[in-house]
Amino acid sequence: MSLGFLLRRLLLAIPTLVGVAVIVFVLLRIVPGDPIAMLIGPGATPADIQKLRELYGLDRGLLDQFVLYVGDLIQGDFGVSISLRQDVMELVLGRLPITLELCLAAIVIAILIGGTLAVAGVYWRGRWPEAGVDGVSGFILAIPDFLWALLFILFVVIFAFSGLPISGRLSHEIRFDALTNFYLLESLVRLRFDVFGSVLLHMLLPALSLALPLSAIIARVLKSSLNEAMTQDYVLLARVKGFSRIRIVAREALRNALVPTVTLTGVQFTFLVGGTVLVEKIFSYPGIGNMAIDAVINRDLPLIQGLVLTFAVLFIAVNLLVDMSYAVLNPRMRHG
């Protein structure tokens, strides 16, 4: 992995971000609906509305608005949220860690479930467990993440599982003066295992909802690339060396089968981040997905812009990570 490669990728990210900024700006100006009307409600006078329009710069021409907007962006100023009256940057950065932790947990769960399913399917190739794996992954895949979320809630309510929380992030009985919004990490570092447990428990169902469809995709792709790797000559040689099947799957085939899986997981991760919008809302999870829904309902233009840009940066970062992982997985790509 050369520094040059990284640099080139980072430079390429700039036009992408500019493009996203332009599209977001244009899209939000052409959709109907007056954000100011949403803001102050039915009793306001036209003068009040006019004052607010001036405050947010909505009274000027589109081009002026755009110049203003880009100028602010470059200075790192995303503006002030119309509905929450706070700095957008602060709002988004404050909530981002919550969603990041949730997504990470979902990825870990997806990899564990998907990986296990794939390896089991390959290990018992041609026998009934393989058919079982295919059936299970097909079923999981057929149900989207938000439906899983609703199903889980239904399940908890019907069977009255009081132990499994279905809303919020941390139990109200626990007092935790957090320094950051990375509760999971921070509680671990500060050895507050009660907090850690509670955060984990609250995270379980939303993370699982997000993880399940992804795990099925991982299972399918990993299984087919594992099966392909198992037909390679070096696998044949490993059999002649006298290694057991499970060891051959794990030591010879797995690493070579990972590249397509990682590529796909990277692409799917971006869908997963998108999925947080609905899933967080369903579980009242206070991340940026939840915030995005509120922002849209309130026609909070600056906040929507800030959130969409944040999502874009996230996607670019994930893709960069995926590309970098190739070099680790595939020794042939290390020079170049």
Cβ 111 to other proteins shortest distance, Å: 18
Helix (H, G, I), strand (E, B) or coil at 140: helix
Output 6 or 55, the one with its CB closest to other proteins: 6
Cβ 328 to other proteins shortest distance, Å: 10
- Torsional sign, CA 34, 37, 40, 44: positive
Backbone angles phi, psi at 12, to 5 degrees: -65, -25
Residues found near other proteins in the complex (CB under 8 A) = 4, 7-8, 126, 232-234, 236-244, 251-252, 255-256, 329-332, 335-336
DSSP letter assigned to residue 265? H
Percent helix, percent strand, percent coil in the chain, to nearest 5: 75, 0, 25
State both tokens at 210: 């997000």
Backbone angles phi, psi at 168, to 5 degrees: 80, -175
Q: Which of 20, 146, 32 is nearest to 73 (CA)?
A: 20
Output 198 or 256, the one with its CB closest to other proteins: 256
Cβ 109 to other proteins shortest distance, Å: 26
Output 41 or 336, the one with its CB closest to other proteins: 336
Output 181 or 261, the one with its CB closest to other proteins: 261
Alpha carbons 298 and 71: distance in angstroms, whole number? 25
State both tokens at 43: 């009793």
Output 85 or 332, the one with its CB closest to other proteins: 332
Alpha carbons 132 and 67: distance in angstroms, whole number? 58
Output 43 or 242, the one with its CB closest to other proteins: 242
Cβ 325 to other proteins shortest distance, Å: 13
Cβ 319 to other proteins shortest distance, Å: 20
Alpha carbons 175 and 186: distance in angstroms, whole number? 14
Cβ 335 to other proteins shortest distance, Å: 7
